[in-house]
Amino acid sequence: MQSAGFEAALRACGRTPVRLDCGTLMLRRRIGGLPVAMLPRAQMDDPAATLELARKITQAPLILSPRAPVDLTAQGALPLISPPHQAVIRLQNDTDAMRAALHGKWRNRLKHGEKSGLRMLCHALPRRADHWLLRADQTQQRRRGYRSWPVPLTLAFAATTPRAAMLFEAFAGTTPVAALLILRHGDTATYHIGHTTDAGRAASAHTLLMWTAMCWCAQQGHRWLDLGLINTISNPGLARFKLGAGADVMPLGGTWLHWAPLSPMRRIARLDRAVMALGP
């Protein structure tokens, strides 16, 4: 969410993000009619300097979501949400070493997928809102009660940066049984959306697609594959899948609020250091 590709996609959708002088992308929204600014997944090596630059542009409530745990209480920020964790795979050109890092059961499913006779395709995402993966993902979001990027934003990301949105599909004959979409940005690739049919699950198609994407991204020079947030309580099956692929678990920085009218509460905020993964 700090990449040039994301910024270009937002602008293509009519949004007006701001790139601060330090390089951080700031978004502007309205929540309940109230204007707010956001620094999503921001690299905050110098929080005071970043906030000073942001405050030169807006005095609206500022929602901060650092890429890594960082203490923002000294800047008067209040903790809102404790840090979630993300699963990240360290990619290697040595596929044998990367395969050795897989969990045994995950590796067995991969072998099963490799013997299933599926036809694999890798290509740029077609610029079609009616693509079967996008339609399946919208249905899945409604059924499971969660929200991801709107389809126009995903298509804008694909349209504004060539081959930035790569689609991996598995077919049984001419029928698609699984697909996953990878977004590329710098030295990192991010798992965006995926879907598997019953036939795909029976053939371990999603495991095969993930491995194919890992190898392809490594060959393209990416160092990391971000599999998104991980929650062993609410979705243990998905967490096992991500960890089985050799992912490490890394904490993000949580969510903070910086707004001058709330600065008197900064002393109370220091009591939440442990909750924000900052120690006692």
User: What tokens appear for 255 in the block?
Assistant: 């969510």
H or E stretch including 19?
Answer: strand 18-19
CA separation for the pair 121, 47 (Å, rounded): 44
CA separation for the pair 112, 209 (Å, rounded): 12
pLDDT of 53 reads 97
pLDDT of 235 reads 87
Q: Where in the chain is the domain with CATH 3.40.630.30?
A: 86-250
| pLDDT per 10-residue tile (average), the chain, 280 residues | 96 95 95 92 95 95 95 89 94 95 97 96 95 94 88 96 95 96 96 96 97 97 96 89 96 93 66 57
pLDDT of 275 reads 60
Task: Quickly tell me which residue has 């960082």 as its tokens.
Answer: 70
What pTM value is reported for the model?
Answer: 0.90
**86-250 CATH, one of 3.40.630.30, 3.40.640.10, 3.30.70.20, 3.20.20.150:** 3.40.630.30
CA separation for the pair 222, 219 (Å, rounded): 7
Region at 186 (left for phi over 0; alpha for psi -120 to 50; beta for the rest): left
pLDDT of 60 reads 95
Q: Cβ distance 28 to 16 under 8 Å?
A: yes
Burial-class residue 237 by CB neighbours within 10 Å (0-12, 13-18, 19+).
exposed
